[in-house]
């Protein structure tokens, strides 16, 4: 009976699912709107361990109820008495069913009574109030984001209306109320995106449009005109589920759903480390993420720590001041610029001048002509020309960043410029000398190495042949031994026998011990290691080689090779698992096969 009730409930929900609310219609707690293609759901929910109820939008096809928008984030319900309706004026109103006149949230769009509006949940995740006939959007949730930016949302502002689009973090995972971090555009100077902790900058992006994050999956759009300034992104592949979210700790994250792994993957986040926090090294300081194990802060050229004792304690918040502040001038007194790269350029929201069409030389002249100009940067946009950015105040929040890869030209006095030019000249000379030496040494080293390798191989061959000629007569046996027997390094014998481990010892004869081994190709071998005191002479060796050359039988041991290194002499046999092996290794006519290794 219970199962039947559940099935009926599911069927009822499926059959009654809708994506719109018309005038005077209601959506009660327990009911939902589902977008046309089933991508998003609008309904009431309780986050985490909370017992409060909120109206929100979440993904339909992703487990875990990931909420991307909340209507009443700061006005939750304590029970399931909430109702959402579209009133006669075409406004969405959220209220307690016991007090219909006291709304806790409303779209609050000024309008006369109208029955031509509907509220619709779109497949983009946007809840919109639209005219039924003209399809004009009167109000939309995309203009009122909470902590999430979906594809199609704007992050910026309208210059005409003053309307701003930004996101605010939650208080916590269980409390979606307004948190302390805000991610928004700062339009002053050259536009940049900031994360603010209250009113204090916490993180800053590179200036826009100087930096544009593009990928094969999204198309990023940057709009900068007299009416609007904002950034937005759209999906090329609509099947991809992705979002930007500002978490309760103040970190901006780009997260994408990986359907195969059935989990969310973090593609990008900021700030990731201390260097990315705003003003970590103070004014005129430069933060270097690669130096974090030492001290990530250094001063820009021509500057030194304001409070050296604090820097020694790894506290650079006081920043840097110009060297020789009272003894040298940077105003029409032989001063110049030192290039620092690659960087995320300093904060450009205060005390900057910008031209979107100016060469680097003209940009430098503009900065040099004004004694208040502390630095400039020039960026080549290719067919769109070259932009110039000049700073007339403190250089704040400068960071080494290879991804940004911008050049900053810092104004320095004549003394600093001369020191820099001298050190640069020395480095240049050292670099040229290193290149010259390398260009000569490398070919010589290659030739010497090639000659040594050739000589080593030649000596191996000649040594093996001379040794065989010395201990054998010049007959067919010599030719056969030279042409057929392989030459191996002693390390291969050590590896095969586990360095002559006692466990591999097969026995011991008059001329040495015999060990079992295995070559890398899997072939089993028997290695006879001649004792230094064996006293075996050339004549005995010749007899054994002659005998083994004549004996060809399936039950007799086969000659494989030999190894000689220093005083070591080793003979390698095919390992046979019958008595013939023992007979030929320890019998009267023991055969020795020379396996030469020079290693």
User: For the purposes of burial, counting CB atoms within 10 Å of the CB of 567, is it exposed (0-12), middle (13-18) or buried (19 or more)?
Assistant: exposed
The Cα–Cα gap between 124 and 396 comes to: 39
Range list of H helices, 160-276: none
Q: Is residue 254 marked as binding?
A: no
| DSSP secondary structure letters along 351-376 | SEEEESS--HHHHHHHHHHSTT--EE
The Cα–Cα gap between 399 and 279 comes to: 9
CA-nearest of 351, 347, 39 to 206 is: 347
Contact 393, 350 (CB under 8 A): yes
Which residues touch 77 (CB under 8 Å, ≥6 apart)? 29, 44, 52, 53, 54, 96, 104
The Cα–Cα gap between 543 and 526 comes to: 20
Reading the block at residue 466, the tokens are 């001379």
From the CB of residue 554, how many other CB atoms can be counted at a distance below 10 Å? Answer: 7
Distances (CA, A) of 476 to 77, 180, 371, 480, 551: 104, 94, 96, 6, 15
E strands present in 345-483:
352-355, 375-380, 386-391, 398-400, 406-412
Reading the block at residue 443, the tokens are 């070919």
Which residues touch 531 (CB under 8 Å, ≥6 apart)? 511, 512, 513
CA-nearest of 152, 145, 177 to 57 is: 145
Q: Which position has the token pair 């920043």? A: 319
CA-nearest of 515, 524, 522 to 497 is: 515
Contact 276, 312 (CB under 8 A): no
Which residues touch 139 (CB under 8 Å, ≥6 apart)? 91, 92, 107, 109, 128, 129
- Backbone φ and ψ for 481, nearest 5 degrees, come out as -65, -40
Reading the block at residue 254, the tokens are 């780009």
CA-nearest of 163, 195, 156, 191 to 179 is: 195
The Cα–Cα gap between 258 and 18 comes to: 28
The Cα–Cα gap between 289 and 297 comes to: 9
Which residues touch 15 (CB under 8 Å, ≥6 apart)? none
As annotated, the binding site includes 528
As annotated, the binding site for ATP includes 528
């Amino acid at each position: 009976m219970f199962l039947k009730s559940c099935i009926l409930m599911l069927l009822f929900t499926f059959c009654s699912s809708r994506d719109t609310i018309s005038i005077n219609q209601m959506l009660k707690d327990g009911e939902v709107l589902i977008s046309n293609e089933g991508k998003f759901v609008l309904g009431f929910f309780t986050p985490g361990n909370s017992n409060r109820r909120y109206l929100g939008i979440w993904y339909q096809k992703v487990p875990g109820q990931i909420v991307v928008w909340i209507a009443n984030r700061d006005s939750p319900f304590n029970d399931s008495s909430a109702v959402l309706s579209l009133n006669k004026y075409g406004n969405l109103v959220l209220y307690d069913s016991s007090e219909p006149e006291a709304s806790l949230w409303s779209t609050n769009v000024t309008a006369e009574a109208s029955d031509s509006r509907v509220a619709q949940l779109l497949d983009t995740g946007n809840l919109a109030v639209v005219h039924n006939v003209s399809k004009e959007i009167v109000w939309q949730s995309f203009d009122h984001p909470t902590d999430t930016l979906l594809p199609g949302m704007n992050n910026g502002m309208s210059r005409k209306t003053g309307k701003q689009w930004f996101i605010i973090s939650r208080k916590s995972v269980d409390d979606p109320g307004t948190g302390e971090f805000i991610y928004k555009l700062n339009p002053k100077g050259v536009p940049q995106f900031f994360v603010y902790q209250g009113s204090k900058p916490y993180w800053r992006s590179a200036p826009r449009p100087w930096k544009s994050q593009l990928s094969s999956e999204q198309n990023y759009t940057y709009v900068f005109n007299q009416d609007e300034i904002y950034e937005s992104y759209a999906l090329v592949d609509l099947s991809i589920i992705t979002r930007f979210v500002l978490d309760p700790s103040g970190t901006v994250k780009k997260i994408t759903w990986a359907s195969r792994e059935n989990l969310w993957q973090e593609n990008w986040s900021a700030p990731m480390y201390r260097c990315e926090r705003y003003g970590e090294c103070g004014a005129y300081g430069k933060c270097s993420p690669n130096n974090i194990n030492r001290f990530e802060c250094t001063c820009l050229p021509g500057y030194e720590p304001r409070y050296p004792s604090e820097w020694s304690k790894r506290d650079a918040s006081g920043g840097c001041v110009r060297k020789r502040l009272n003894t040298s001038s940077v105003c029409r007194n032989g001063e110049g610029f030192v290039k620092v790269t690659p960087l995320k350029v300093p904060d450009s929201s205060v005390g900057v001048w910008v031209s979107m069409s100016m060469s680097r030389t003209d940009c430098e002249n503009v900065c040099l002509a004004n004694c208040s100009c502390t630095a400039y940067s020039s960026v080549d946009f290719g067919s769109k020309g070259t932009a110039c950015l000049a700073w007339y105040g403190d250089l704040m929040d400068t960071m080494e960043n290879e991804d940004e890869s911008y050049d900053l030209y810092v104004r320095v006095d004549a003394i600093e410029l001369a020191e820099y030019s001298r050190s640069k000249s020395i480095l240049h000379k050292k670099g040229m000398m290193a290149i010259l030496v390398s260009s000569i040494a490398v070919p010589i080293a290659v030739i010497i190495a090639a000659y040594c390798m050739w000589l080593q191989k030649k000596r191996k061959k000649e040594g093996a042949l001379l040794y065989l000629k010395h201990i054998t007569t010049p007959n067919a046996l010599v030719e056969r031994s030279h042409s057929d027997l392989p030459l191996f390094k002693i390390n291969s014998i050590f590896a095969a026998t586990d360095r002559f481990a006692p466990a591999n010892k097969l026995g011991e004869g008059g001329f040495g011990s015999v060990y079992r081994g295995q070559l890398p190709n899997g072939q089993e071998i028997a290695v006879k290691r001649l004792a230094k005191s064996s006293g075996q002479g050339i004549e005995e060796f010749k007899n054994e080689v002659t005998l083994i050359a004549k004996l060809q039988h399936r039950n007799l041991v086969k000659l494989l090779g030999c190894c000689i290194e220093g005083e070591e002499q080793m003979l390698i046999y095919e390992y046979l698992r019958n008595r013939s092996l023992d007979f030929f290794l320890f019998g009267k006519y023991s055969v020795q096969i020379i396996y030469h290794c020079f290693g």
